[in-house]
Amino acid sequence: MNRTAEAGGRGMSFSKNMLTLNPKELDSRVFYSYMTGAVAPRPIAFASTIDKEGKINLSPFSFFNIMGINPPILVFAPNNRGRDGSKKDTTLNLEEVPEVVINIVDYDMVQQMSLSSVEFPRGTNEFIKAGFTEEKSVLVKPPRVKESKAQFECKVLEIKQIGSMNLAICEVLMAHISESILDENQKIDQTKTDWVARMGGDWYARANREAMFEVEKPITKIGIGYDAIPEKIRLSKILTGNHLGQLGNIENLPTQAEIEAYRAMPTMQNIIEQVMYGCAFLDNLLHAEAARLLNENKVKEAWLVLLQNPHP
Ligand X SMILES: Cc1cc2nc3c(=O)[nH]c(=O)nc-3n(C[C@H](O)[C@H](O)[C@H](O)COP(=O)(O)O)c2cc1C
Least CB distance from residue 127 to ligand X, whole Å? Answer: 12
Using CA atoms, how far residue 148 sits from 44, 151, 224, 254, in Å, is 12, 7, 43, 48
Least CB distance from residue 96 to ligand X, whole Å? Answer: 13
Q: Which of 144, 198, 243, 287 binds ligand X (CB under 6 A)?
A: 198
Query: How far apart, in whole angstroms, are the C-alpha atoms of residue 273 and residue 293?
Result: 20
Q: Which of 41, 48, 74, 89 binds ligand X (CB under 6 A)?
A: 89
Site string for ligand X, 30-59 (x = CB under 6 A): --------------x------------x-x
Q: Are 13 and 20 in contact (CB under 8 A)?
A: yes
Q: Which of 79, 193, 246, 308 binds ligand X (CB under 6 A)?
A: 79
Nearer to ligand X, 114 or 178 (CB): 114
Least CB distance from residue 11 to ligand X, whole Å? Answer: 23
Number of chain residues interacting with ligand X (CB under 6 A)? 17
Question: Which residues is 205 bridged to in the sheet?
Answer: 197
Least CB distance from residue 164 to ligand X, whole Å? Answer: 9
Q: Which of 108, 119, 189, 251 binds ligand X (CB under 6 A)?
A: 119
Q: Which stretch binds ligand X (CB under 6 A): 113-121, 132-140, 145-153, 222-230?
A: 113-121
Nearer to ligand X, 63 or 262 (CB): 63
Nearer to ligand X, 121 or 278 (CB): 121
Task: Decide the pairing of beta strands 72-76 and 64-69.
Answer: antiparallel
Question: Which residues is 50 bridged to in the sheet?
Answer: 56
Grouping H, G, I as helix, E, B as strand and the rest as coil, residue 141 is: coil
Least CB distance from residue 59 to ligand X, whole Å? Answer: 3
Query: How far apart, in whole angstroms, are the C-alpha atoms of residue 278 and residue 226?
Result: 32
Q: Is 132 in the site for ligand X (CB under 6 A)?
A: no
Least CB distance from residue 285 to ligand X, whole Å? Answer: 49
Nearer to ligand X, 13 or 114 (CB): 114
Q: Rule CB under 6 A: which of 59-78 touch ligand X?
A: 59-63, 77-78
- Residues of 104-124 as b/e, b for ≥16 C-beta within 10 angstroms? bbbeebbebbbebeeebeeeb
- Alpha-helical (H) ranges within the chain are 3-6, 28-38, 89-96, 110-116, 126-130, 231-234, 241-248, 256-262, 266-276, 282-295, 299-306
Those residues whose C-beta lies under 8 Å from the C-beta of residue 154, and which sit 6 or more positions away, are 74, 99, 100, 101, 102, 140, 170, 171, 172, 173
Least CB distance from residue 119 to ligand X, whole Å? Answer: 5
Q: Which of 50, 56, 75, 90 binds ligand X (CB under 6 A)?
A: 90
Judged by the rule CB under 6 A, the positions of this chain that interact with ligand X are: 44, 57, 59-63, 77-79, 88-90, 114, 117, 119, 198
